[in-house]
Amino acid sequence: MKLMELKQNLNQKQVQGLSLTQGMRQSILVLQSDAIDLAEYLNEQSLENPLFDVHVDLDMPFVENSDRASYQIKDDQQSLFEYLLDQVQLTMRKTPLRDLVVYLIEQLDPNGYLTMSDKEIFAELKDITPIMLLDAKTLLHQLDPPGIGARNLQECLYLQAEADNADPVVMSMLSDNFEMLAKHEWKQLKRKLKLSNEELQKNVDFIQSLTANPGQRYTSQNEQYVVPELRIKKNKDKLTLSVTKYGQPQIVFAEETYDRLAQSTDEDVKKYIYEKYNQYKSLSYNLQRRIETISIIGKCIVKAQYKFFMQETNALEPLLIRDVAQKLQLSESTVSRTINGKYIQTDFGIFELKNFFSRRSKVNVGEDDKSVDQVKAKIKDILDNEDKKKPLSDQKISNLLIEDNLKIARRTVAKYREELGYPATGRRRK
């Protein structure tokens, strides 16, 4: 895409943007952070606000690979491809457009950039239209993390700022004035956008907080600790869901400090204490809202996956983010932020909430249902045990599944085989 065309598209998007208040940004940050990141964020905030302290109960020991552990080491971090694919499969219905979005995801480099040109895409995919490709790229750009699918640094930063509903001045810097920004031509920027030194600095600081490599965090293989925020207990035929206390950061109001400063007759001190008290109240509200949102979504998950939590089955019921969002009258983005990085502790293991939103559709097996993941597991087992000198064709695999009472068409077998990462028959022959 030429720079002029990009600017036109970016300008069209800019008109529709609305600025988020600081409180709204904080609400989103608090909601999407896991317990450990949240504690770190609160500690940073407390350094700037004398009216509260942060307490985190870490009495429970870190135990690795224990079903009863309150803390667990997570060393199988998702790849960028897996994370994006999960979002697509959990939010989009099965359509040719969704297939195109998945194709674009497969073309991303490790940093999240789309390196193929439109011309190259059209040359490889003969049955798509320009409008279809534009729609697919738009859907790709809406995925998390923001900036994914950009062609270059300018578009990457713009997409991130757009996702954060940044100030119109920021959007202008990243669209019409990116060259001046990149060259640090501050005087020209100030004059053209009619900014004061403070306004310029504030907007430049925001842009510098954006990342040039949105996919980088998913290439790290460092171990990290996770803290379950929900706990479910089974009592005969009933399930009880509760919010865990340990590991949950709490903010404690410094009442004595507030009373002492509030009695000051200095107007600057009064203004300062009023501002800091409002910050404390806003943070308290966002923390309470976070817990309530996690709790109600957790209840919805437990109800949908009752048989799994009762250990009556290992198969999950089909459940989409859209289903929960509509039921709870929340936005899909709110549900997505809530379940990502949040964990539930059971008597038989610790699970991430988003794992219960299965990307499964029903496959008829007599009177029962099988999930797509179960069918894939069966196909994987067949492929792993086939004669490598005489590998099975997709039709033969389909016949074997039918013999096992799984009515799966050859084309479906081929699709699942490709998704599992197995090449076609000829390329598997040794």
Give the pair of three-digit tokens for residue 163: 């996702």
Q: Can you read off the two tokens belonging to residue 50? A: 């004398």
Instruction: State yes or no: pLDDT of 16 exceeds 60.
Output: no
Inform me whether the pLDDT recorded for 14 exceeds 60: no
* Measured distance CA(264)–CA(270) in Å, rounded: 7
Q: Are 164 and 157 in contact (CB under 8 A)?
A: no
Strand partners of residue 365? 368
Are 17 and 213 within 8 A, CB to CB? no
Whole-number Å distance between alpha carbons of 214 and 232: 35
What burial letters (b/e) apply to 265-279, b meaning 16+ CB within 10 Å? eeeeeeeebeebbeb
Going by pLDDT thresholds of 50, 70 and 90, the confidence category of residue 77 is low
272 alpha carbon, distance to own chain's centre? 36
Enumerate residues 6+ apart whose C-beta is below 8 A from 216.
110, 111, 112
What is the rounded distance in angstroms from the CA atom of residue 331 to the CA atom of residue 364? Answer: 32
Provide CB contacts within 8 A for 157, sequence distance 6+: 147, 174, 207, 210, 212
Specify the higher pLDDT residue, 89 or 232.
Answer: 232
Q: Is residue 305 over pLDDT 60?
A: yes
pLDDT band at 134 (very low <50, low <70, confident <90, very high): very high
Residue whose token pair is 């919805």: 300
- Whether the pLDDT of residue 113 is over 50: the answer is yes
309 neighbors 302 (Cβ within 8 angstroms): yes
Residue 179 has pLDDT above 50, yes or no: yes
Residues in the chain: 430
| pLDDT average, residue stretch 235-262 | 84
b/e map of 80-100 (b: 16 or more CB within 10 Å)? beebbbbbbbbbbeeeebbeb
Section 15-33 average pLDDT: 66
Contact criterion met (CB below 8 Å) for 278 and 49: no
Q: pLDDT, tens digit, for every residue of 194-204?
A: 888 888 888 88
Q: How are beta strands 250-253 and 368-371 bridged, if at all?
A: unpaired
> Higher confidence at residue 165 or residue 57?
165
Average per-residue pLDDT for the chain: 79
Cα separations (Å) of 316 from 186, 304, 310? 56, 9, 12
pLDDT of residue 359: 54
- 228-235 vs 343-346, strand pairing mode: parallel
Q: Which residue has the higher pLDDT, 32 or 222?
A: 32
Report the pLDDT value the prediction gives residue 68, as an integer from 0 to 100.
36
Q: Which amino acid is at 30?
A: V
pLDDT of 22 strictly over 70: no
> How would you class 306 by CB atoms within 10 Å of its CB: exposed for 0-12, middle for 13-18, buried for 19 or more?
middle
Structural domains present in the chain: 80-218 (no CATH), 230-356 (no CATH), 372-427 (1.10.10.60)
199 neighbors 213 (Cβ within 8 angstroms): no
Whether the model clears a pTM of 0.85, i.e. scores above it, the answer is no
Q: Give the pLDDT confidence score for residue 72 in this predicted structure.
A: 43
Strand pairing category for 362-365 and 368-371:
antiparallel
Q: Amino acid identity of 153?
A: L
pLDDT digits (tens, 9 = 90+) for 309-320: 888 877 677 788
pLDDT over 90 for what percent of the chain? 6
What per-residue confidence (pLDDT) applies to 23?
67
Predicted confidence at residue 360, as pLDDT, reads 47
* Token pair listed for 264: 């000051």
Kindly calculate the radius of gyration of the chain based on its CA atoms and give it in whole angstroms.
Answer: 26
Structure tokens at 75: 């060393």
The residues with which 226 forms a beta bridge, in sequence order, are: 72
Give the amino acid at 202.
K
Inform me whether the pLDDT recorded for 10 exceeds 70: no
Q: Say if residue 64's pLDDT is above 50.
A: no
